[in-house]
Amino acid sequence: MNKNTVTIVKCPTCQKNVEWSEKSLYRPFCSKRCQLIDLGDWAAEEHRIADKELTEQDLWSEDDLADLVSKH
Ligand SMILES: [Zn+2]
């Protein structure tokens, strides 16, 4: 067995090969940049879902519907 075998993983962000070792500080990401991009995607996704829920609540708010009806 070769004791020097290194595990290679793919960066989830850019698919670049990343050596799974102490050298790769941001594993499984190839760099801090890719790690931040991935975290940013998560945050953006959560915001999008939250915004959608708020919008739907607004659309179906009885106060808003009553307001629309009373205006015209
Ligand atoms: Zn990367």
Segment 35-66, tens digit of pLDDT:
999 988 777 777 776 777 666 666 666 777 67
Residue 9 has pLDDT above 90, yes or no: yes
Domain boundaries, the chain: 8-71
Kindly state the greatest CA–CA separation across the chain. 81
Taking the C-alpha atoms of residue 12 and residue 16, their distance in angstroms, rounded to an integer, is 8
Ligand 1 mean position to 53 CA, how many Å? Answer: 32
In this structure, what DSSP letter does residue 44 have? H
Q: Thinking of the domain 8-71, which architecture would CATH place it in?
A: 2-Layer Sandwich (3.30)
Query: What's the CA-to-centroid distance between 12 and ligand 1, angstroms?
Result: 7
**Residue 14 marked ligand-binding:** yes
User: What pLDDT does 10 receive?
Assistant: 97
For the stretch 12-37, pLDDT in tens is 999 999 999 999 999 999 999 999 99
Q: Which pLDDT belongs to residue 14?
A: 96
Nearest to 10 by CA among 24, 1, 2: 24
pTM, rounded to two decimals: 0.54
Please report which helix (H) or strand (E) contains residue 10, including its range: strand 8-10
Closest to 29 in 3D by CA, of 54, 37, 61, 47: 37
Annotated binding residue 34: yes
